[in-house]
Amino acid sequence: MTLEKREARRPWLLLSPALTTIFFLLVVPVIFVVVYSFWLRTASGADQPGFYLTNWAEVLTDSFYRDILFHTLKIATITTVLCAILGYPAAYFIARSRRNKAMLLMCLMLPFWISYIIRTMSWINILGVSGALNSLLLASGIISEPLQLLYNETTVILGLIHFLLPFMILNIYVSVEGIDETLEDAACSLGSTRWQSFLEVTLPLSLPGLAAGGLLCFVLGAGTYITPLILGGPTDAMFANLVFEAIITQLDWPLGSALSLVLVAVLGALILIYNRFFGMSQLMKGLS
């Protein structure tokens, strides 16, 4: 073999372990889920291979699934919008602050290192019947009975915001950091107010970061089933909870497959729209 040929083969040699892993543990399994969604769960508990549209008919026509899908999208939208509102000023502050910037950034990274389940359950300590808030209100005599604050839609959203806010802030920060500060000054010197220069210069330029953060918040929020299980009540199930129920509790794997594919289709469509406008590279910036 000539040297050139060996040189040309080398990258593939390096790539092959990772690509083989991805191929057999991701690509093939996902295709398999598509096939599985057309199989049928029989009364005996075995899965009947074949081409049945039963699962799809059930998933696409039953209003139960549709309602939970809309509920999930609603929760994810509210979470994303609130993350953007809460996160933008903070990200702007970090990017434009001169002192304490390193410290603020490091603190922003800390939540990524603190366990998701610990952060989620920490709200039980705050809002639970014997939690901080109730204890405070009882001790100060404002209430005489502990309030039932947990296990509803609001606490699910609260938990999701707590989980996703760092993603949003980090992405906006990366964007604002890249904008030349003098642009705003230039706008001001040309007669616009600080607020106008922000609205017409900084905000549009930081849109890619805002969109990347928004996409991450939405996709991660809409795909979760742990937060509703810990902080939600019986009626707060989200779409991923349906998948978990079908696969783990009812062991109806063909139905679970169809449900997962609905989730992939909805979130995948969003990622494609995002990719069309901003490209994937922006997302990678925030991730690394």
Partner 1 sequence: MGWSVIRAWTAAVYLFMFLPVAVVVLLSFNSNQFGSFPVTGFSFRWFIELWENEAILRAFKTSMILGALTALISTFLGVLASLALVRYKVPGRDFISTLLIAPVLVPEVVLAVALLLFLNFLSLHKSFFLLLLGHVIFTLPFVVLVVQARLVSIRRDYEEAAMSLGANPIQAFLTITLPLLAPAIFAGMLFAFTISFDDITGTLFWKPGGIETVPTQIFSMLRNSISPEINALGSVMIILTVGLPLIGLGIARRIAAKQA
Q: Which of residues 37-66 bind partner 1 (CB under 8 A)?
A: none
- The CA distance from 233 to 157, in Å, is 12
Binding to partner 1 (CB under 8 A): which residues in 173-202? 195
Report the residue from 38, 52, 56, 253 that binds partner 1 according to the rule CB under 8 A: 253
Q: How far is the CB of 264 from partner 1 (least distance, A)?
A: 5
Q: How far is the CB of 130 from partner 1 (least distance, A)?
A: 4
In this complex, which beta carbon is closest to partner 1, that of residue 40 or of residue 126? Answer: 126
Report the residue from 130, 189, 196, 235 that binds partner 1 according to the rule CB under 8 A: 130
Look at the alpha carbons of 22, 80, 276, 11 in this order and tell me if their dihedral is positive or negative.
negative
- The CA distance from 197 to 257, in Å, is 50
Query: Is 3 among the residues that bind partner 1 (CB under 8 A)?
Result: no
Query: Is 155 among the residues that bind partner 1 (CB under 8 A)?
Result: no
Tokens describing residue 198: 């922000």
Query: Which residue type occupies 60?
Result: L
Q: How far is the CB of 228 from partner 1 (least distance, A)?
A: 12
Q: Which stretch binds partner 1 (CB under 8 A): 60-68, 105-113, 176-184, 203-211?
A: 105-113
Report the residue from 82, 165, 176, 217 that binds partner 1 according to the rule CB under 8 A: 165
Query: Which residue type occupies 242?
Result: L
CA distances from 196 to 59, 61, 174, 184, 280 (A): 48, 49, 22, 9, 30
- The CA distance from 47 to 165, in Å, is 42
